[in-house]
Amino acid sequence: MMKRFFSFLLVLSTLLDAASAQTIYRSRKPGKESRPAAQNDTLPANSGSQAVAQGARANAVSARVGTKITQRGYRLEAKRVLDADQFGRNKYYSPNYRFSVDFNPMQSVAERRAQGVNLFSTWAHTEAEYNNLPFGDGFVYATEYGLHGPLEGAGYFERSLAAVEAHYQSLQSISGAQKGYWVANIENSNEWMPGSYDAPMPGYPYGGYGRGKFPEPWSSARKKTITLESTGEPNVTLETLAARGFAAWNREMITRRTNRIVLMLEIARRRSPAGAWIAYGASMYQGEPKLSNAYSTSVFQDGYADVSHIGGDADGNITLNGRRYQIKGDIYSHETFHLDYYYQFNFRMDKEEYTDIWINRNPTKQNYPAIWAAIKPRHVVADQKGHWQANRYRMKNRPGQSVRGTVCMRELQYEADKAGYVEGVPYPNDLIARVPPTMNTGCLDFLNGGDPCDDQPKIWIPPYEMYSYYAVHRFLEGGTPGAGFHIFHAPARFDPNREAGYNHEYHAVTALFQARNELQPYEKFFDSSTLVEDPEIQIGGRGAWSAYDGIQAYNYDGKGKYGPQKPAYSLRFQPTATGYQVLILGGMNQGWTDERTDNVRYQFPGMAEPVVFSVRLRGPAAQFFEFNVNKTDAGQIYTALPPAISASEKAGYAGRILTP
């Protein structure tokens, strides 16, 4: 009788799979009826109970079954509409992980807080709203113009350190993190080069003077004298220093830049309350994870402060205008959190899709969902994980560094002006510059200083990538104090009905709220669980086991060549009364409906043997699987092999997509 009943359930499940979410089977005590438990049943589908595996013989109990995490469906909005409320309101989110989105269609702090935002920038809210925030909830992304004013560029390098300190002391923009977080964004004072912009000096990569923030002609600027901070030599003209060659000039530039940024960060820290979060506005590691330099301890804007030649001692102690400072180490050793600044530059598309959208201007494809479906999938999980690990490597291995929370900062659009590469077109093939004009998105006037512009807005990143950026970073950071996620966008606060440039779908923004809400049930778990960055993987469920990181999974040499990529996995666990609660993150570069099954293995404390988890990935987005491991198990395989629900899938998106 029981055999026939289980057989009936297996037939029934086949009929239900086409219309329902993952079906989990669990056993009952003898004499009790056994029935399928849907994902939203009162007993959690991840209960760790014995279950009949899909496709197994009716009386077999071959594995313990886990759950693929997809808590809520996402109902796509019309143009100019952002509906974050659809995922629910007023949920708990850990204060250890902050969420900030500088894309605010005129909503109040209270409205956005109810949606899950718990970090609010000065750019996205009114001054009154910002001033009323409690400590910890405010985010200042200080622009260089506000920090340096007339010193921005040339004056920053040409003036003495004491003159720069006096300027900093006069600025209220270095108010520090009065409401929680403060970041210094330096754009034009990162490099200093001699010579004319129109006629670079031999041996130098470019000429710096005669343009932008270095407006003075080199013919007059070269006569200025400075005291070299790298050696202490006084009264050296810029022309004399330049004549000594690039190495000498570069050494002085790096010393002056590091001395000034360290000074700025120290002033910001002094002016901030206890417990404030201070960071330099650039990631130590830049760009895609590269095998060529990911495991190096070099950093962006490398160099160490040195004031020993200008009145300071060997330990960096120096008095400037009657105020005592310690200026030593590199830029990043003066942070209390790290800004994981990472912008996506490019995408790829088949020639046929490019021709249909941009050349023939197919009217059915002049919209973002069509463009996102045409953009080729990429290994977004390994990319995000590998970039995070490259920064983490430097925190662990670079002298003066410490492991600290990171705030991942992303943009909504591709950064490059020509972002799209077209397959099948001879190099250079970066043909896709902006959205097609027939999309009628209008023009963002601020791009050209408020003047009517003749270019279309940059192309927005597909929702599945935005979803994965947040989800991967949230998983990896866990409960690390100071960590978070920030979307940088300008204008940050706007009326979507008045801005012509926003006549399109905002699904890339909503996908962030989708990811945040799907992982919300694990907020307390993230605070208390242990991260296993690189568990052992059996690729394809067969062959040898190996542990590898996101950098190796991404497999990019840094010179334009991508090798065969591997699925990327990480694992989190925490003890329970009977064993362990386990959450697995996975992702692979594959097509929208492609599937793969891999095995993940980890040796939990107190268990006789490693536990094996067999999980199925579908599509390229980040995916999560939850299991309850019984400590008494030995040689048990845990499975999460959810059936495909094609009706709730959409190319370019992640999770369950609901039809209107």
Inter-CA distances, 424 with 242, 352, 354, 429, 561, Å: 46, 9, 11, 9, 17
What pLDDT is stored for residue 69 in this prediction? 86
Residues 6+ apart with CB under 8 A from 588: 379, 381, 565, 566, 567, 568, 596, 617, 620
Question: Rounded distance, CA 374 to CA 572, Å?
Answer: 34
Question: Rounded distance, CA 260 to CA 235, Å?
Answer: 20
First to last CA, the chain: 44
Q: How far is CA 54 from the centre of its chain?
A: 36
Is the CB of residue 587 less than 8 Å from the CB of residue 620? yes
Q: 429 and 550 in one domain?
A: no
Q: How far is CA 309 from the centre of its chain?
A: 40
Q: Among the three residues 495, 522, 549, which one is the final residue of a domain in this structure?
A: 522
Q: 208 and 104 in one domain?
A: yes
Residue 654 lies in a domain: no
Residue 30 lies in a domain: no
DSSP code for 460: B
Token readout for 430 is: 């970066």
Q: 211 and 133 in one domain?
A: yes
Residue 494 lies in a domain: yes
| Whole-number CA gyration radius for the chain | 27
Q: Give residue 533's domain range.
A: 56-73+526-640
Residue 366 lies in a domain: no
What pLDDT is stored for residue 40 in this prediction? 27
Q: 510 and 606 in one domain?
A: no
Q: Among the three residues 499, 522, 545, which one is the final residue of a domain in this structure?
A: 522
Is the CB of residue 659 less than 8 Å from the CB of residue 78? no
Q: 553 and 507 in one domain?
A: no
Please name which of 479, 491, 559, 573 lies closest in space to residue 523, comparing C-alpha atoms.
479
What pLDDT is stored for residue 26 in this prediction? 24
Q: Among the three residues 477, 504, 522, which one is the final residue of a domain in this structure?
A: 522
Q: 172 and 127 in one domain?
A: yes
Q: What is the pTM of this model?
A: 0.88
Per the structure, how many domains does the chain have?
2
- For residue 537, list its beta bridge partners: 546, 600
- For residue 656, list its beta bridge partners: 73
Q: 222 and 195 in one domain?
A: yes
What pLDDT is stored for residue 607 in this prediction? 94
Question: Rounded distance, CA 594 to CA 588, Å?
Answer: 10
Q: 102 and 69 in one domain?
A: no
Length of the chain: 660
Is the CB of residue 584 less than 8 Å from the CB of residue 569? yes
Q: 563 and 467 in one domain?
A: no
Residue 132 lies in a domain: yes
Residue 186 lies in a domain: yes
Q: 476 and 543 in one domain?
A: no
Question: Rounded distance, CA 524 to CA 97, Å?
Answer: 11
Question: Rounded distance, CA 195 to CA 202, Å?
Answer: 9
Token readout for 549 is: 């990181």
Q: Is the dihedral of CA 265, 403, 411, 386 positive or negative?
A: positive
Q: What is the DSSP string of 623-640?
A: EEEEEEEETT-SSPEEEE
Residue 210 lies in a domain: yes
Alpha helices in 355-462 (DSSP H): 368-374, 380-397
Residue 142 lies in a domain: yes
Task: Give the sheet arrangement for strand 180-184, strand by strand.
Answer: 120-121, 138-142, 180-184, 277-280
Token readout for 342 is: 């990472």
Please name which of 582, 568, 567 lies closest in space to residue 613, comparing C-alpha atoms.
582
What pLDDT is stored for residue 229 in this prediction? 98
Q: 554 and 422 in one domain?
A: no
Is the CB of residue 390 less than 8 Å from the CB of residue 551? yes
Is residue 491 reached through a cis peptide bond, with omega within 30 degrees of 0 on the bond before it? Answer: yes
In 303-447, which ranges are E strands? 317-320, 323-326, 338-341, 347-350, 406-411, 420-423
Is the CB of residue 660 less than 8 Å from the CB of residue 555? no
CB half-sphere exposure, 184, CA atoms < 13 A: 29
What pLDDT is stored for residue 566 in this prediction? 98
Question: Rounded distance, CA 90 to CA 88, Å?
Answer: 7
Task: Give the sheet arrangement for strand 483-488, strand by strand.
Answer: 97-101, 483-488, 406-411, 338-341
Token readout for 566 is: 């591997």
Q: 581 and 517 in one domain?
A: no
pLDDT along the chain (660 residues), means of 10: 35 33 25 27 28 28 72 90 96 98 96 98 96 97 90 94 93 84 92 95 96 95 98 98 98 97 96 96 95 93 96 97 97 96 93 94 96 98 98 95 97 91 78 85 54 69 98 98 95 85 93 97 97 98 97 95 97 97 98 97 95 97 96 90 91 90
